[in-house]
Amino acid sequence: MEIGLRFRAVASVCALCAAGVLALAPPAAAADPAPARPSAPGRQKATVPPPDLLEKGGTQVRLRAGAPALPEVSALSWLVADADTGEVLAAHDAHRRLPPASTLKTLFALTVLPAFPAGVRHTVSARELAGIGEGSSLVGVVEGHTYRVADLWYGVFLNSGNDAVRVLAALNGGWEHTARQMERKARSLGALDTTVVSPDGYDAEGQVSSAYDLAVFGRAGLRDPDFTRYCSTAYASFPGHDGTTYRIANTNRLLTGADGVEPYPGLLGIKNGYTSKAGNTLIAAARRGGRTLVVTVMNPQKGNGLTVYEEARKLLDWGFEAAGHVDPVGSLDALRPVSHAGAEASAAKSPTAPPPGRTGRWEARSRVRSG
């Protein structure tokens, strides 16, 4: 259920024809003196280039005079974006399709979290825990025990518990149904690189996402107060077997400072992941001086398992320092369907229907304030 590069490029060209106002941007890493135009009060915003600039691959950035140099990043793919405007400030191979590991749980949460109130209680059956992949991260969900939905979500976000994902997916109609629903949700957000096979992010043949799509999911999650509360929680109590509770800690080291990683100031959390196939992956967001950035880092090629956090730190620092000194290289809204509600309703009619908007119009948009 992957959409090829040719389709997205054609869609982008059609969007430009419809808009008729976007100008082509220069190649990556070239300074662009194009004048900015006002957007929000106190913020200057340049014309957003067409989506196909991010399709070019390699490192894409449009530096103005006085802009800080990009940091050295070894990840196979990464992206820095303004979470408020959706402007992509810089990226490297933004649409490269790679295994996402547990960062895919962000899309799982976007899809399933709104369906069940946090206070609903559910008694877990053995059937719901069947099929958990070998070596999966677990929070300790036990057959026959009753949990609040909120408990399960803390298990998903903090411990990256595949057992909690299994139970929530069962409540949602089953594993396969949830996977197809996740793909429809991704398409409705303009995330065209993501194919879901295992909703928990466990390595599975054909399961991929991209730095672009993961940034889209992270940004969308920040609009949901429940999502934001779960992903930014460092520590929580989880129900034990005998009426007691035990402490669980978020595995995002930028949030907790575990393993010698210095906590990042203003971090809003989001989600980290690791599998042997995906390597280390991370979606991180932080707020500073009234500005919120979202960063994605996929599979660093240097260092150890903590490198993903340090490379995210470098990109966040650069993004905050570069404010007002770079022109965007794309938008997290650029590939969204024109009619979101209509697209989702159409896709919902059949699990095998083509992705929303695949044969219809797509528009290149510079910003969407709320979703």
113 secondary structure, DSSP code: G
pTM of the model: 0.80
User: Does the pLDDT at position 215 exceed 50?
Assistant: yes
Our answer to whether residue 302 is catalytic in this structure is no
pLDDT at residue 125 tops 80: yes
pLDDT over threshold 80, residue 12? no
Q: Residue 2: what pLDDT? A: 33
What pLDDT score does 246 carry? 97
Instruction: Give the pair of three-digit tokens for residue 68.
Output: 């800080």
3-state helix, strand, coil in the chain (%, to 5): 30, 20, 45
**What does the pLDDT read at residue 30?**
37
What's the Cα-to-Cα distance from 270 to each of 31, 51, 54, 75, 263, rounded to whole Å?
32, 25, 23, 18, 14
pLDDT band for position 53 (cuts 50, 70, 90): confident
**Catalytic (active site) residue 39:** no
Q: Which of 102, 136, 198, 210 is catalytic?
A: 102
CA distance 188 to 290: 28
Task: Average the pLDDT over 6-31 and give the result.
Answer: 37
Tokens of 276: 């042997």
* 339 classed as catalytic: no
- Outline where DSSP puts E strands in 64-193: 77-82, 87-92, 121-123, 146-148
Q: Looking at 105, 185, 271, 314, which residue is catalytic?
A: 105
Would you place residue 239 in the very low, low, confident or very high pLDDT band (cuts 50, 70, 90)?
Answer: very high
Q: How far is CA 143 from the centre of its chain?
A: 31
pLDDT band at 242 (very low <50, low <70, confident <90, very high): confident
Q: Is residue 289 within 8 Å of 320, Cβ to Cβ?
A: yes
Residues 254 and 261: beta-carbon distance below 8 Å:
yes
Q: Which of 136, 137, 160, 188 is catalytic?
A: 160
Radius of gyration of the chain (CA): 20
Helix (H) or strand (E) holding 239: strand 235-239
